[in-house]
Homo-oligomer: A and B are copies of this chain.
Amino acid sequence: MNYNLAFIGFGNIGQGFAELLLEQEKQLKEKYGIEYKVVAISTLTRGTVYNKNGLNLKEILKLIKKGEPLTNHCDVKKGWDALKTIKDSNADIVLELTPTNIKTGEPAITHIKTALLCKKNVITVNKGPIALKYKQLMTIAQKNKVMLKFEGTVLGGTPAITLGTEALAGAKITEIKGILNGTTNFILTEMEKGKEYQSALKEAQRLGYAETDPTADVEGYDTVAKLVILANVLMDVNIKPSDVKRTGITKISLANIKKARQNGQVWKLVGHIKTDNGIKAEVAPKMLKSNELLANINKGMNGLCIKTDIVGEITIIGAGAGPKGTSFAILNDLISINRTLKGINI
């Protein structure tokens, strides 16, 4: 099938996905019969380009890498912003790739709502809208008979959402426990090697795992958002980030780490939700026994234990966020949309 894609936001993730699309073009066509055109790219600071017959993606990537605005491109649309691009372009799949705002979810919530109301499918990796408005957005999608996909919002390229919604569709999930943030897991792994917190944080920043202001990661906000998404999507509850008890890793000292090790334990930042006896949701550093599966997930890796009514515990482990994994999640969402639209005509 043929798809017209519009990128809303074209930062690291958008550019990474554009490169992956070019790389995978042949395989998408041969393996899945997917052909695509990128018809629009809308950015906040570099302008918008649109061509209903398809943009020259390679050329635009070159322009962006040189740091030039899209206004230098022949397909520039003066006065077009994200909303106009969503409404007036001939895109049938909108990629919402703007930065996450976990407090308001905006402008991504408005972008996604607008696209769904225009009967356009949406793929996003933005945690804000899914953590804050999942049920509302899904209702709009269903009413308009389009899809909203968001595999990349949790665990990057490790397909936790599809695992829960499709591969475990027949199960009732009663508990989720996971290492959901690669940055803090990297820091704790460095501390296991003997570094103090501040020095491990600096190493994480030097390697690009942690941002200059590491608050969202080290204080647990990012893990909270992911836990809320997993809970609302996979456990059919309706919780908000403020419903999750939150403690970061900044108070963990090297002495804590060493003491735990003497007892055969390791510290991990764990997101945990149980629903069997009321909803209990918490993000906090926990001491895990060293032979537990989650205790053996190190560096930037993520892992998730899903407890089910019928088949006990299923654990999935893989690389956490990062442009490549997140791009892969978008690619997988595109293939999933195609699978649904093709139906039995495989």
The yes or no answer to A343 lying at the interface (CB within 8 A) is yes
A 277-322 contacts with B by CB, 8 A: 291, 293, 296, 310-319
The yes or no answer to A167 lying at the interface (CB within 8 A) is yes
Copies of this chain in the oligomer: 2
Quick check: A171 and B343 within 8 Å, CB to CB? Answer: no
Give Cα A167 to B328, complex, Å.
Answer: 11
Q: Which residues of B contact A332 (CB under 8 A)?
A: 167-170
Q: Which residues of B contact A159 (CB under 8 A)?
A: 163, 167-168, 314
Chain A, interface size category, equals 35 or more
Q: Which residues of B contact A336 (CB under 8 A)?
A: 166, 169
Quick check: B319 and A317 within 8 Å, CB to CB? Answer: no
CB-CB nearest in chain B for A236: B31
By CB atoms of chain B within 10 A, which of A27, A170, A315, A335 has the most? A170
Quick check: B344 and A145 within 8 Å, CB to CB? Answer: yes
Proximity string of chain A (317-346) to chain B, C-beta cutoff 8 Å, 1 when within and 0 when not:
111000011011001101110011101111
Q: Which secondary structure dominates where chain A touches chain B?
A: mixed
Quick check: A167 and B170 within 8 Å, CB to CB? Answer: no
Q: Which residues of B contact A331 (CB under 8 A)?
A: 170, 310
The yes or no answer to A110 lying at the interface (CB within 8 A) is no
Q: Which residues of B contact A313 (CB under 8 A)?
A: 318-319
A 131-180 contacts with B by CB, 8 A: 142, 145-147, 156-159, 162-163, 166-172
CB-CB nearest in chain B for A305: B317
Binding site for B on A (CB under 8 A): 20, 24, 27, 32, 142, 145-147, 156-159, 162-163, 166-172, 291, 293, 296, 310-319, 324-325, 327-328, 331-332, 334-336, 339-341, 343-346
Could you list 11 examples of A-B contacts with CB < 8 Å? A145-B344, A162-B167, A163-B167, A166-B336, A166-B339, A167-B332, A170-B332, A293-B293, A310-B324, A315-B317, A315-B318
